[in-house]
Structure 1
Amino acid sequence: MPMFPLGAVLLPGEPLSLQIFEPRYVALIQDCLDGHREPDFGVVLIERGHEVGGGEVRTEVGTVARIVDVVELPGSRFRVRCAGTDRLHVDRWLPDDPYPRAEVRIRPDDAGADDTALLAGLRERAARLHELTTRLARRNGIRRPPPSASLAELSADPTTRSYELTARLPIGLTDRQAALAAPDPHTRLATLTDAVDDAIAMMEFRLL
């Protein structure tokens, strides 16, 4: 599969917009649109390094991105809109010729345990984190505090719901990647709980 290492974590169900200008990724998009394959490529997080130039260290768990809209721009550039679909696991990286490629397999979630209690706990923690963030913003003279993460209208499907929570909670790249790599929805929510607890502890420390 063609691969696009990014300094971001794409989750299943999330949109992704890209400005394509580097020659190797221009070639990737052109090949994805040649009509001989699905317009898909894999997105993985760059653990170390940079998006431009190559030589980066990449994660093994990522997400399939399906191209839904392309605008060709002057100067061999593209503006591309994608949607995250399935989670993938990289079994083997192939030579970057002419762009990153890998042998991958789709990695669905395991069933996992009931996550009802974890979901309720996450709602409480998200409210607590927003309260602390609002207090810190007011202390620093910020009149309009950041909005609260909306955890309403979540999917009834445990896997979809767990990705919606990952997308909405104010957590960092490392925590998003850990959630993406979790084997099942219950473990994913437990990972999110730890991440929000760390964020609460940091806010409480800053408010001392």
Structure 2
Amino acid sequence: MHVGNARYVKREDLPQTVPVFPLTGALLLPGGQLPLNIFEPRYLALFDAAMAGDRLVAMVQPAMGEAPDSLRPALSTVGCLGRITSFAETGDGRYIVSLAGVCRVRLAEEVGEGHPFRTFQIMPFMSDLSEEDGEAAVNREELLRVFRAYLDANQLEADWDSVERAGNRMLVNSLSMMSPFGAPEKQALLEAPDLKTRAETLVAITEILLARDFGDSDTVLQ
């Protein structure tokens, strides 16, 4: 997989340890782009370190039930490795950063004492680096039907030309990242074992949301 100017194919292309940025509700998936506004000193230091090294950061949600402002929250065991592909200073002490998703990772042992941020050993999901990730198995028609129903129910518009041009992988992961779901649902999308399952999970969660907010989901989804 090419991400920015780097190519990640085998385990040796990835580091053994990475700094971790915990953020509730943030979902990064392989191939996706996540913009970030960095202002806390510990995370400014984290991105300083990443920029001086391999430009890789792991996005991880705090574990369910953890206080969002906890200094050292328990973390979800699965996150996503991202490469810094855009970095800008604002002039008022903030960084505006864009992360490009590389692959999901499972957190192992915490290491790297002495930094204001946290660092973990990681076990990458090597299957995420393969171009053969089951795109053909995705029920694209069902996914687009539910997506259209959600937009119609919320009186929203989409660039359908871009949607139609997007491959299944880009479509599923982009819709998952843009989804207005809570942290548990986003973690479920992240941890789906394959693209087909992620698409099915996305459809199921959206149908539940439509039924809850708009009553008869069968009517909305027709």
Q: TM-score range by the shorter chain?
A: 0.7 to 0.9
TM-score normalised by structure 1 residue count: 0.75
TM-score normalised by structure 2 residue count: 0.71
| Contact 1:126/1:169 (<8 A) preserved | no
State the match for 1:17 in structure 2.
35
Residue of structure 1 aligned with 2:60, choices 21, 28, 44 = 44
State the match for 2:104 in structure 1.
87
Residue of structure 1 aligned with 2:74, choices 57, 60, 84 = 57
**Deviations for 1:176-196, whole angstroms, at most 9, x for unmatched residues?**
221111111111112112101
State the match for 1:29 in structure 2.
47
**Which SS does the other structure have where 2:143 is aligned?**
helix
Residue 197, structure 1, aligned to residue 207, structure 2: yes
The alpha-carbon deviation at position 88 of structure 1 amounts to 1.4
State the match for 2:151 in structure 1.
130
| Contact 2:32/2:170 (<8 A) preserved | no
| Contact 2:21/2:59 (<8 A) preserved | yes
State the match for 1:181 in structure 2.
191
Structure 2 counterpart of 1:41, one-letter code: V
The alpha-carbon deviation at position 112 of structure 1 amounts to 5.6
**Which SS does the other structure have where 1:49 is aligned?**
coil
For the residues of structure 1 that align with 2:169 and 2:122, how far apart are their CA atoms?
A: 21
State the match for 2:13 in structure 1.
none
Which of the two has higher C-alpha Rg?
Answer: 1
For the residues of structure 1 that align with 2:48 and 2:135, how far apart are their CA atoms?
A: 43
For the residues of structure 2 that align with 1:131 and 1:19, how far apart are their CA atoms?
A: 31
The aligned length equals 190
**Deviations for 1:114-163, whole angstroms, at most 9, x for unmatched residues?**
534x3222222222333333xxxxxxxxxxx32258542221xx544431
For the residues of structure 2 that align with 1:149 and 1:195, how far apart are their CA atoms?
A: 22
For the residues of structure 1 that align with 2:45 and 2:147, how far apart are their CA atoms?
A: 42
Q: CA, structure 1 residues 71+189, in 2 after alignment: closer, same or farther (shift >3 Å)? A: closer
Q: CA, structure 1 residues 9+100, in 2 after alignment: closer, same or farther (shift >3 Å)? A: same
Structure 2 counterpart of 1:100, one-letter code: R
Q: CA RMSD in A?
A: 2.9
Q: CA, structure 1 residues 206+55, in 2 after alignment: closer, same or farther (shift >3 Å)? A: farther
| Contact 2:83/2:99 (<8 A) preserved | yes
Unaligned runs of 5+ in 1: 134-144
| Contact 2:61/2:76 (<8 A) preserved | yes
State the match for 1:136 in structure 2.
none
State the match for 2:11 in structure 1.
none
